[in-house]
Amino acid sequence: MEANVFAAMDPEILKQVRGLLQPVSFPKGSCIMREGDPGDGAYVIDAGEVRVEARAQSGALEHELCYLGPGELLGEFSLLDGLPRSATAIAHTDVQARWCSREDFERLGRENPVVSNAILLAFSRGLTHKIRRENALMTDYLLADEPDPEANRMVAQAVAAQKQFVSWPEERVDALLKDIADTVAARAAELAEVNVADTGIGVALDKVVKIQFSCGEVLRSLLGQHAAGVLKEIGATHVVEIASPVGVIFGVIPVTNPVSTIVFKALIALKSRNALIYSCHRDAIHVGNMTGELIQSALARHSAPADLVQWVKNRTDRRKTAAFMKHPQVGLILATGGPSIVEAAYKSGKPAIGVGAGNAPVWVCADADVAAAASAVMRSKTFDNGVICGSENNLIVDDSVRAVFIKQLEAQGATLLTPDELHRFTPQAFDVAHPSVNHAFIGKSAAFIAEKTGLRRATPPRLIVVPAGMADINGPYGSEKLAPILSLFTVKGEEQAIALCRRILEHQGIGHTAIIHTRNETLARRFGNEIPASRILVNAPGAQGCIGLGTGLTPSLTLGCGTFGGNSTTDNVTFTHLLNVKRLALGPCMTA
């Protein structure tokens, strides 16, 4: 209990304080308090680390404000002024703390003013410390355009390395790419285990599949491709297309798929003769460092410049990320992550390829192969506990096949909530105010979520299906759910189904992915023509199909959403997007 905030307190009074504050604990990833919650008390942190976040009024943008550790206060503003919480606090690690309620604090003031004043003085010291830190952060913000020495050093090294690498012939580049892929693939199981241990998200075996996808399917899509010099000559127009690298690429790596995304971005960057600097999500730094070291070992074996692939090795912040994004010698940003980081990339003033949120509607038509559709949904939405952005999020099922479709899902391990269960489940599973899945449940198994929310089943479920109606579209059940939770809407006929799919995408996920299960090619083509999505899958699982696993789409882990979703491309991004293609227009009367 010798927390820093009480360091100057009289020992006798400290003994009394120990008995007044209530010990509490929070597991990693759990929400300690939410923005807008009643200001009913404060915590003194004894052990662990707390991440404080704020969101835009829309709820779409999440901003990391600060981290709090042992000896620091959480929520003291509300204890003192009684106003609602101004930020959200997440247990970044397992946290041990002590709780002082506003009610107890006010009663203590009446019954024991000496102790009450001592606590108030301690809290005031903590508040003063926090204000000083906020002033320092504001200074950093105001000086955000000042040079960042680490960013300058890394970018300069990347520029030099890229100049040495740009003239490598295709065969030598392909040999390097194969070595990188083979090196990471050989450690896939270990990296996947570390990934899950670090982030608490997903399934290690499924992450192995994603790593192998990057090291296999992505690699195969690059080998033998021409990515330097003259790409083609168009005889009729006398135009010669010539490839030129963009130079240095800054890549943002998400918490959901760090290893596979690092490998993917490294492969496509090097294939196009670019250098890559990447920055991982705060929870994926350890596994990001491991992956980078494996890539650099392959670079060394091929006598490639070590600085072709670099990464930020410690926890970063918005100022440092902005320094890379705005650096004059960074040619392009590849932004894969949450809405706030993608928006920051677009606002940097640099060319950026970003992605939008996924929220795929899945239309199970009256003529669908219902058993195959249920199998695809189960295979996809349970994969890596539902964190792939193109996985199914909203089932739109024709009334004529609803009953048999539900039976097929249940036969494969899904569970359908009753109205009474739904009433209890929703406030526990979701942060309804923003509508999003509870932080503690992102990337967790359906069995874990069921246990924590009090769902009782004889067999632990693999997927939780929630009946939903039109009124639910603007809430959590019409939004992206990065967990094995699916909403189920019932429709009658094609017109109602297509209109509902459009409405869901317009709420969230526009431009990303949509899925249809039908035997009718004409209907599939109509769906493709009318739905505002860049990837429209037919009779395929979303998580696998959208990235090009089992479909004819380009293998990729960066999926554009087009101007539908505020992106520059609808493509599955690959090396061709990282090239400047020059066009030499030859005039008449040219001689050799």
Catalytic residues: 389
Q: 66: closest CA among 49, 53, 75?
A: 53
Q: 383: closest CA among 186, 180, 550, 553?
A: 550
Would you say 14 and 61 are in contact if contact means Cβ atoms under 8 Å apart?
Answer: no
C-alpha radius of gyration, the chain, whole number:
26
Q: 454: closest CA among 421, 414, 501?
A: 421
Dihedral angle of Cα 544, 545, 548, 553, to the nearest 10 degrees: -170
- The sign of the torsion formed by the CA atoms of 470, 472, 475, 479 equals negative
Burial classification of residue 209, based on how many CB atoms lie within 10 Å of its CB (0-12 exposed, 13-18 middle, 19 or more buried): middle
Burial classification of residue 12, based on how many CB atoms lie within 10 Å of its CB (0-12 exposed, 13-18 middle, 19 or more buried): exposed
Angle between helical axes of 188-199 and 170-186 (0-180°, round to 10): 60
Would you say 69 and 45 are in contact if contact means Cβ atoms under 8 Å apart?
Answer: yes
Burial classification of residue 300, based on how many CB atoms lie within 10 Å of its CB (0-12 exposed, 13-18 middle, 19 or more buried): exposed
Would you say 184 and 211 are in contact if contact means Cβ atoms under 8 Å apart?
Answer: yes
- Structure tokens given for 342: 């993608």
What DSSP letter does each residue of 282-319 carry, written as one string? GGGHHHHHHHHHHHHHHHHHTT--GGGEEE--S---HH
For residues 351 and 564, give the distance between their C-alpha atoms in angstroms, rounded to a whole number: 18
Q: Provide the 8-state DSSP code for 541.
A: -
- Structure tokens given for 357: 């949120």
Contacts of 7 (CB under 8 A, 6+ apart): 71
